[in-house]
Structure 1
Amino acid sequence: MVSPIVAAIISFFFPGIGQVVQGETQKGIIMFVAAIVISIILAYALGTIGNIIYLIYAVYAAYDAYNMG
């Protein structure tokens, strides 16, 4: 396990990976797959709004990884 701040930074750029390094592998994999789906489907289908949704999701993932520590 790493410090909560490092996990939050990792999870902001790669949602779900911060959860994996904190020991929640299954949750991290689910969040990572969800991030890929959000980034591919919503970003291309909705454009700017999809990117904003992805950014909100990345912030949530960072917050969740930080709180796990």
Structure 2
Amino acid sequence: MHAYDLSNARWRKSSYSDGDGGNCVEVLDNVPGVVPVRDSKVTDGPVLVVPAAAWAAFVAGVKA
């Protein structure tokens, strides 16, 4: 298992998140091979680290 220092990360809110403060997903770009994902309402909460290929497949499925 890898440890990632995300303390200075610049999170990006997903374009699929709603604008009312609910259902907010944030992701990090430029982490080689993985996509860290978190709930923007719980910024000090857990981070899910997903393999980049799995994240790409997930996003493609959401778009379809």
Same fold per superposition (TM over 0.5): no
Would you tell me which structure has more helix in proportion to its own residues? 1
Would you tell me which structure has more strand in proportion to its own residues? 2
Higher RCO (CA 8 Å, separation ≥ 6 residues)? 1
The TM-score, its normalising length taken from structure 1, stands at: 0.29
The TM-score, its normalising length taken from structure 2, stands at: 0.31
